[in-house]
Structure 1
């Protein structure tokens, strides 16, 4: 008999996982404690922007004409317990307010509500990013006859659907052959396509996600540290990155210098990792992550200083600043810990008149920074601007016509905070072009 799958938590991770499991052929029931979210998902709509996700939902949500009907949503824990063979826990683990540590309250609440309704023989699978040691503790909260596995997620916002259907690896922390067997059945399609299936213990599975994010953060902050040196020495960080990227031991990915990383994963994950290492008595092993975090946050202040120099060097008072980008990365509407909005907010606090435009993140940005001005297009954002800051590398921004923007700007000065624009095109249109870490370019 085919496995039936439940997904607990239908945010970014959960909604994507539920839709992907239905696409792989399983009957799926998703649960959330927010009725409005369930209502929206049940109509085939998503509460966030993620390319391809709404189309995948419409393909499978029950009640939508032409759908497979394999995917439904509920607020009932009893219905979840009676329905599922494999239960994926996909709830959020944010950073604790005022601390580096991870807030496990959502995960703990999910397990507490799930445990009493589970049938004997069920498998609970944690996908949330948690401090190492959490699986061991949570396994003890489950009833006898119920197994726990830990299966970390590696989704990239903007590519989440493809990352779920065609992952570059599947990692499972298990304690029984039965749990491994069930998860091999769940992931049979991607494994048959060649996706590696890595079986390990609980602690290793928990550490894989935080280790991977820490390595990526390190690589980003390394090239940004090199950008600081290039600024001082008159070098070109883009050429430096190209040259070292040809070394296959290093690789070119994640070596684009700029205003740094943000979002709901990398910053809070490396901080939670540091906090957990301290609890385990091995904080010295991860002291380097404190500098990684510091380099990353410093980039935002450096962009503010570059903008101040661009408008005269003294003050932002009376100066109009256009900010292209609000989300922390392109192909997403996620503005959590966004470097773009952080820079915009700092400039406004220092007296600048800041106008922001983003293709998908405007609504979320308005909620987070209601005092900033927002424009309906890049052209409107740039109208009358003394300086233009490019802070999120949307394709739309790379394809902008510098001549058209120059016709409405007060001053043709552009600062590329993502090293993604074509300097030649902008300079040929009469713009003063400056990119981070490239004073000589």
Structure 2
């Protein structure tokens, strides 16, 4: 019996999602052709180097580029001729003048691909889009592609955690497939056959439900984070300890401990913009009250940043002007170089705006941080960032910072004072070494 040839895949967009998806699909044995409009990025990817930091990704890239399973191009005609399934992985940032998602890249990618689709294929959207977007794209494809309705659309949302993206792609906790026909379902079942055979749930839905899954998940996680940070505000007002409160809540199986870490709050390229886009879409649909609670979720998250600045001001005597501040962390979370909507950089920039002399260190995000905030000073080591500091701020919980030696830092700081924005340190340990220790939501 002749073995049926596996589908060939294209990935449209080589940002964080697209690069990871392309590399991991090649790792699963598929031939993959990824496309982007940025020639500099394509040149780097062709050498097996990702244009961002993600643990474990570069070895997967290098292995599959070297073995010829993963290639890159800027030609939409080439991917249309090559692939049976096209994964749409372009960004959907927040619009500059509103909370709504900017779909320019999505629409441009589909418009560029459609004229070249002259044989049956499946286009599987992975980008996070407002509910209802996929239906419009499906209609556009049917009207524009030479093959007509045989260019079928599916929606297959991603659930990647930065820092764990390779694991989340190769071994996801669920796969959601928004399908419009048996053919689109069969195509996605083939792509994910190894995961399905390993017992990973494969949930088939309509397009609208698939679009809602990702934003609903992010809204729930954002709500949980903001809830415990709201409790941090109450804890500070009552001299309670929010970390002990969170621990007590975590033992309730209905609540659990994940995403219940009090601190500086969430940032990055997903949660903030996704919950705002979700609210904007609800308003368009006439169901704005259903998501009105997300406004307070967003507001609580933003207040954490202001509270961090207030704590810092209090530690240095009430005035930030002229104070030397060492900042540990620039990325929005550890194991990432992503500084989009980073609470750490926001706090650092705000202190600078109040006259503080701020020096930032991060193990991976310095280049992105400097591009976003060139007005700040940057160091290449933790000790360098701490030198002559009146106060240290821990704003991203990298292991290097969790394991910092208070005695070593004490040799270079002007004053032994630290404000822990992530509740990552042991207060008694630091205090026993002569440090003034403050943290969000703790006595």
Aligned with residue 417 of structure 2, among 413, 418, 429: 413
Between the aligned partners of 2:199 and 2:442, the Cα distance in structure 1 is: 41
Between the aligned partners of 2:320 and 2:239, the Cα distance in structure 1 is: 26
Between the aligned partners of 1:13 and 1:393, the Cα distance in structure 2 is: 23
Q: Partner residue of 2:58?
A: 54
The answer as to 2:214 corresponding to 1:215 is no
Cα drift, residue 98 of structure 1: 2.0
Q: Partner residue of 1:287?
A: 292
Between the aligned partners of 2:237 and 2:41, the Cα distance in structure 1 is: 50
The answer as to 2:20 corresponding to 1:21 is no
Alignment partner of 2:437: what SS?
Answer: strand
Between the aligned partners of 1:302 and 1:423, the Cα distance in structure 2 is: 19
Cα drift, residue 68 of structure 1: 2.0
Query: Taking structure 2 as the reference length, what is the TM-score of the superposition?
Result: 0.97
User: Does 418-427 or 275-284 show the bigger shift?
Assistant: 418-427
Cα drift, residue 421 of structure 1: 1.2
Q: Partner residue of 2:390?
A: 386
Asked if the contact 1:220–1:257 (Cα under 8 Å) also holds between the matched residues in 2, the reply is yes
Q: Partner residue of 1:353?
A: 357
Alignment partner of 2:63: what SS?
Answer: helix
The answer as to 2:190 corresponding to 1:170 is no
Alignment of 1:73-88 (within 5 A): 73-88=72-87
In the alignment, structure 1 segments of 5+ residues that lack a partner are 62-66
Asked if the contact 1:120–1:144 (Cα under 8 Å) also holds between the matched residues in 2, the reply is no
Alignment of 1:4-403 (within 5 A): 4-61=8-65, 67-142=66-141, 143-313=148-318, 315-403=319-407
Cα drift, residue 120 of structure 1: 2.4
In the alignment, structure 2 segments of 5+ residues that lack a partner are 142-147
Between the aligned partners of 1:376 and 1:8, the Cα distance in structure 2 is: 35
Alignment partner of 1:356: what SS?
Answer: strand
Cα drift, residue 417 of structure 1: 0.3
Cα drift, residue 144 of structure 1: 2.2
1:298-357 deviations in Å (ceiling 9; x for gaps): 1000000000000001x1112101110000000000000000000000000001111100
User: Does 137-146 or 213-222 show the bigger shift?
Assistant: 137-146
Between the aligned partners of 2:268 and 2:54, the Cα distance in structure 1 is: 14
Alignment partner of 1:140: what SS?
Answer: helix
Between the aligned partners of 2:385 and 2:86, the Cα distance in structure 1 is: 46
Between the aligned partners of 2:253 and 2:107, the Cα distance in structure 1 is: 42
Alignment partner of 2:149: what SS?
Answer: coil
Indicate the RMSD between aligned Cα atoms, in angstroms: 0.7
Between the aligned partners of 1:117 and 1:51, the Cα distance in structure 2 is: 36
1:42-83 deviations in Å (ceiling 9; x for gaps): 11111100011111000101xxxxx32100000011100000
Q: Partner residue of 1:64?
A: none
- Tell me which stretches of 4 or more aligned residues in structure 1 moved more than 3 Å: none
User: Does 338-347 or 426-435 show the bigger shift?
Assistant: 426-435
Alignment partner of 2:346: what SS?
Answer: helix
Alignment partner of 1:149: what SS?
Answer: strand
Between the aligned partners of 1:183 and 1:145, the Cα distance in structure 2 is: 16
1:67-125 deviations in Å (ceiling 9; x for gaps): 32100000011100000000000000000002000000000000001111113220000
Between the aligned partners of 2:176 and 2:402, the Cα distance in structure 1 is: 36
Cα drift, residue 213 of structure 1: 0.1
Cα drift, residue 376 of structure 1: 1.2
Between the aligned partners of 2:393 and 2:88, the Cα distance in structure 1 is: 40
Cα drift, residue 395 of structure 1: 0.5
Cα drift, residue 426 of structure 1: 1.2
Asked if the contact 1:234–1:438 (Cα under 8 Å) also holds between the matched residues in 2, the reply is yes
